[in-house]
Structure 1
């Protein structure tokens, strides 16, 4: 017996597709059987499994577990919760691997799987190897067991371990995602006054889509902060591994800015530590890390890529512009939005300033948000390569860490293929508005030559 996956679901750092179209119950079962095979061949036997709050997650979880059990591994179900809770379970329970059923920040009809083996991300060629195992029927066989483990209380206790941050008035928007119950429990234990939004888990996302990189999705949080005159607020994506932040003046604090704020106390505690940030991050962040005596490293975007690079470089902390923040110093090395919130509260308290004052101190730049443009799947990589060829012919200064990051007298612009959706993503940063307009105009000209419009 063999199985063939739709090729578009095998992303570089996880598995994602549209349920009922490119991803179905049989796929989940085959993913489970193939992953069980890899776990057993690595000498493992127990796998933790969690799921997010999407409407399709219980079905996919059940099929995944069927496949894992058929592959001869024992399953420990951790139930509904954010991806970081599953990562915590994989790091602290007596298991050899973990799988989270999640569509992360994708549309409500999408879903997928994030995988961990022996405390390391399972991505790239390893994910593609699952397809080989399934297509050839090269499966281990067996009969595993299924047990349940309640880890939420231990997880929340770990989020707060050693926390000595001050008492603030904070807004929290869980976006009806899987982090909601954790945020409810966490805020009951944190000092201060806490105002909660949309913590009921609902996979239809009735209030707004849970993606804090899109300013429109922060409207409810910004309104709450203004109405209640709060000190700041946090927002979370669908599976609770990405954080958004808003200060008392309603300004969005992006992932690279959060990393700049977190790096300061960390580099006092660990002088010379390595700090990793993705290719979408501001030059101001890399400059700030170096000014604080740290070692700054630029990484490809993607949670699995960054976790692997952190291990390789011995980094203490890392972040993506999109709000994934990874903590290795005093934590486990994975991205965790709830933990990031706790650490940000501590950093604000240690500074003796408000978050708004800290944002005021950051270098002034003019940057676009990360812009995502839907394109046909078969054009996702090709468009980036077409643009690369044209700008290379013009002698541009290109960094190829991930896609192409082009430096000019005005600043820089980035174009890369999304690893999670049929889309390309872009960002630009300049010293002033006129420079940003010129950079965006350059991108628009290049996209037009490849038949793409940013306004589409």
Structure 2
């Protein structure tokens, strides 16, 4: 018996596809067979059956995929701990906090449209991505699976998870938080139930939007990095005169935020606030951000006495780099924030919300003041444009080669960590290939409109030299 996956679903950071077209129950069952087989072989086929935690988000298709995934895992001889409906970080918590659990799989379509779904995986405490996912594909095609008869058990872990998040406020006088007024938008995503339980325990006044889990997302799309999706939260903060607002994506691992005046606090700006808090007690610590982050962030971390490190975009890649460097804090422009100081190092937007309250209290400044202290920079949104799949990586290689061999007068330095990031006297620009779509991603930042125009012209010049052009922007 074997199984062939649609090649489009085996992505760099996770597995994701369209229900009924590229992804279904047979795929979920095969993922369970492959993942379970790898885990059994890792621990030793003659050893006690390893345990895998399984959770799922609020999409209509998620229970069906969960059922098939569990079938696949148990048929490979793994035991399964079913934690049910919840945010992705709740699954990560179940995996990280229990010695007997050696793997974790969350069924989630994240912020994709409602007809998508997918799988995010953890293997013995490390991210499972890239070559791991391709290996599942090969194992399926060959039917290279162990056989067995694992058991299943269910666990309601929500209360324990909420208790653990509340430890993010340890050492803070409750009086410093009691006057806070905060808005929260769950976007009808999987974070809703945990958010209700969490805010019921938090000091201060809390106003919640769209906590009912609904896989059709009837109010707005659950992607807090798109400013239009923050309109309801912005209206709530203004109407109730709140101190700030927090929003989540569909599976609760990415945070968005606005201050009391409605200004967006972008991912790199949030990281500046978290870094100011974390570096008070960890001088010299490494803080990691992806290549799309503002130069202001890297400068700020250095000014605070930290060690800034620019790394590749992708939550799995960032998590791996954190383990390698021992960094207590990392983040991405996309709103993934990772705390490994007094937490587990995974991306948890609910916990990041708690830590925003904590940072404000410990630093003795409102979130609006903290946002206002961040230097203004002019930058483009993330510009994403279609490029043939076979052309995207070679094109980036050509640009990198040109700029490193003959950079020209305006180029001060070139960073090829992930794509090509070019520093000039006007600021910087980035061009990289998406790992998950047939698109190139560009971004530029300057302290003047004229500088920004010159940077964008340099991007267009490099694209033209490779026979490409920056077409209409496409979505995630």
Deviations 1:208-230 (A, max 9, x none): 11111111111111111111111
Structure-2 residue corresponding to 1:453: 471
Deviations 1:169-190 (A, max 9, x none): 1110111110011111111111
The answer (yes or no) to whether the contact 2:168–2:358 under 8 Å persists in 1 is: no
Alignment RMSD: 1.8
Higher mean alpha-carbon deviation, 230-239 vs 15-24, is at 15-24
Q: Distance in 2 between matches of 1:244 and 1:88?
A: 21
Deviations 1:185-213 (A, max 9, x none): 11111111111111111111111111111
Matches within 5 A, 1:73-222: 73-93=78-98, 94-161=100-167, 163=169, 164=172, 166-167=177-178, 168-222=180-234
Q: SS of the residue aligned with 2:200?
A: helix
Listed as ranges, the gaps of 5+ residues in structure 2 are 44-48
Structure-1 residue corresponding to 2:343: 331
Of the candidates 288, 291, 294, which is equivalent to residue 300 of structure 2?
Answer: 288
The answer (yes or no) to whether the contact 2:400–2:416 under 8 Å persists in 1 is: no
Of the candidates 63, 66, 70, which is equivalent to residue 58 of structure 1?
Answer: 63
Of the candidates 422, 437, 443, which is equivalent to residue 459 of structure 2?
Answer: 443
Q: Distance in 1 between matches of 2:290 and 2:364?
A: 29
The answer (yes or no) to whether the contact 1:2–1:137 under 8 Å persists in 2 is: yes
Structure-1 residue corresponding to 2:441: 425
Structure-2 residue corresponding to 1:412: 428
Is residue 2:268 matched to residue 1:225?
Answer: no
Query: TM-score, normalized by length of structure 2?
Result: 0.92
Cα shift at 1:423: 3.2
The answer (yes or no) to whether the contact 2:188–2:214 under 8 Å persists in 1 is: yes
Structure-1 residue corresponding to 2:330: 318
The answer (yes or no) to whether the contact 1:210–1:236 under 8 Å persists in 2 is: yes
Cα shift at 1:421: 3.7
The answer (yes or no) to whether the contact 2:383–2:473 under 8 Å persists in 1 is: no
Is residue 2:357 matched to residue 1:345?
Answer: yes
Cα shift at 1:377: 4.5
Q: Distance in 2 between matches of 1:96 and 1:26?
A: 24
Structure-2 residue corresponding to 1:402: 418
Structure-2 residue corresponding to 1:18: 18
Q: Distance in 2 between matches of 1:440 and 1:148?
A: 53
The answer (yes or no) to whether the contact 1:177–1:237 under 8 Å persists in 2 is: yes
Q: Distance in 2 between matches of 1:10 and 1:32?
A: 14
Cα shift at 1:26: 1.2
How many residues are aligned here?
456
Distance 1:382 1:212, change over 3 A: farther
Q: Distance in 1 between matches of 2:107 and 2:92?
A: 12
Q: Distance in 1 between matches of 2:35 and 2:432?
A: 29
Cα shift at 1:274: 1.2
Distance 1:152 1:374, change over 3 A: farther
Q: Distance in 2 between matches of 1:141 and 1:304?
A: 29
The answer (yes or no) to whether the contact 2:56–2:106 under 8 Å persists in 1 is: yes
Deviations 1:131-187 (A, max 9, x none): 121122111111111111110000011010251361311110111110011111111
The answer (yes or no) to whether the contact 1:31–1:67 under 8 Å persists in 2 is: yes
Matches within 5 A, 1:261-272: 261-272=273-284
Q: Distance in 2 between matches of 1:420 and 1:225?
A: 35
Q: Distance in 2 between matches of 1:262 and 1:68?
A: 38
Distance 1:368 1:309, change over 3 A: same
Q: Distance in 1 between matches of 2:328 and 2:145?
A: 38
Q: SS of the residue aligned with 1:296?
A: strand
Q: Distance in 1 between matches of 2:161 and 2:392?
A: 38
The answer (yes or no) to whether the contact 2:168–2:355 under 8 Å persists in 1 is: no
Q: Distance in 1 between matches of 2:380 and 2:363?
A: 28
Cα shift at 1:245: 0.6
Q: Distance in 2 between matches of 1:212 and 1:377?
A: 27
Listed as ranges, the gaps of 5+ residues in structure 1 are none
Distance 1:146 1:275, change over 3 A: same
